[in-house]
Amino acid sequence: MDGAVSISDAVTLDIGGMTCTSCEETVRNALLSINGVSKADVSHESSSAVITCKDVNRDTLSNAVRSTGYTVDGLGIEFNWSDKSVWKTSAYNTMWCLIGCSIGDFGTIAAFQFIFTESGWSTMSIMILAMINGLLTSIALETIILTKQVGLWEGFKVAIGMSLISMISMEAAMNLVDYLLTGGAILTWWVIPIMLIAGFITPWPYNYWRLKKYGKACH
């Protein structure tokens, strides 16, 4: 077979986009699903995979990795906006990020609305604090979720490495909607769903692009 390797050879691939042991498992499973691959040692720390195989073309190995959303030798699969599985995965990631952000954001606004009513803080100050607390609770929730999979320290490193662009745009969208519809930092039964929808939709396309092109996601 042209371009294939013999049973005694080990192929090393340079893989980009892996951030945790969950990423390693995804790549490993993709490689082991190929007929002829007997072993795959994958490391997100060295951004590599060493594959032991028989009569398997290097391109076949590379394409299997790229199909999971990661890059090989700096190249990924051709980007497009029509991958339903990536839309689904990015929606799931965005949903969990939204839950985490909402806890700190809504909690802060509610505290000033119902408890610290005479604080003298301006609407802008409250919203900035709400956004900061939203980022912190999102990272905390993500760490808790990932701890069950990869351990506390590894989970924290992945959580802290989540895209700030995604989280900040989410926070900005929610607070902007709140201000435009209520005139301040105010929670009502009807504005909360609209804030959540805006917070979800705003970063979702970015999260799809980031996952599809670079294989980077929260989980």
The SS3 assignment for 138 reads helix
The whole-number average pLDDT for the span 23-46 is 91
Q: What are phi and psi of 40, to 5 degrees?
A: -145, 110
pLDDT category at 7 given cuts 50, 70, 90 is very low
Position 194 scores a pLDDT of 98
CB 140 within 8 A of CB 132: no
pLDDT digit string, tens, across residues 132-154: 999 999 999 888 877 877 678 87
pLDDT digit string, tens, across residues 57-95: 889 999 899 888 788 887 776 678 988 878 988 898 899
pLDDT category at 6 given cuts 50, 70, 90 is very low
For 189, half-sphere exposure in the C-beta direction (CA atoms, 13 angstrom radius) is: 0
Cα distance from N-terminal residue to C-terminal residue, the chain: 38
Under CATH, which architecture does the 10-72 domain have?
Answer: 2-Layer Sandwich (3.30)
Q: What percentage of the chain reaches a pLDDT higher than 70?
A: 91
Statement: residue 28 has pLDDT above 60: yes
CB 174 within 8 A of CB 105: yes
The whole-number average pLDDT for the span 150-162 is 75
Position 219 scores a pLDDT of 47
CB 185 within 8 A of CB 39: no
* Residue-range domain boundaries for the chain: 10-72, 84-214
Q: Retrieve residue 161's tokens.
A: 């490495």
pLDDT category at 4 given cuts 50, 70, 90 is low
Q: Which of 15-24, 59-68, 128-137, 151-160 has the lowest mean pLDDT?
A: 151-160
| Higher pLDDT, residue 149 or 205 | 205
Angle between helices 58-66 and 21-32 in degrees, nearest 10: 140
Residues 6+ apart with CB under 8 A from 132: 104
The overall average pLDDT reported for the chain is: 87
The total number of residues written for the chain in this structure? 219
CB 171 within 8 A of CB 134: yes
For 210, half-sphere exposure in the C-beta direction (CA atoms, 13 angstrom radius) is: 20
User: Which of 97, 164, 165, 173 has the alpha carbon at shortest distance from 137?
Assistant: 97
pLDDT digit string, tens, across residues 93-115: 899 899 999 999 999 999 999 99
Q: Which of 12-21, 155-164, 197-206 has the lowest mean pLDDT?
A: 155-164
Position 118 scores a pLDDT of 93
Statement: residue 1 has pLDDT above 60: no
The whole-number average pLDDT for the span 6-13 is 73
Position 164 scores a pLDDT of 84
Radius of gyration in angstroms for the set of CA atoms belonging to the chain, rounded to a whole number: 22
> From the CB of residue 43, how many other CB atoms can be counted at a distance below 10 Å?
14
Position 200 scores a pLDDT of 97
In order of 26, 81, 208, the CA distances from 85 in angstroms are: 14, 11, 10
The CA distance from 208 to 202, in Å, is 11
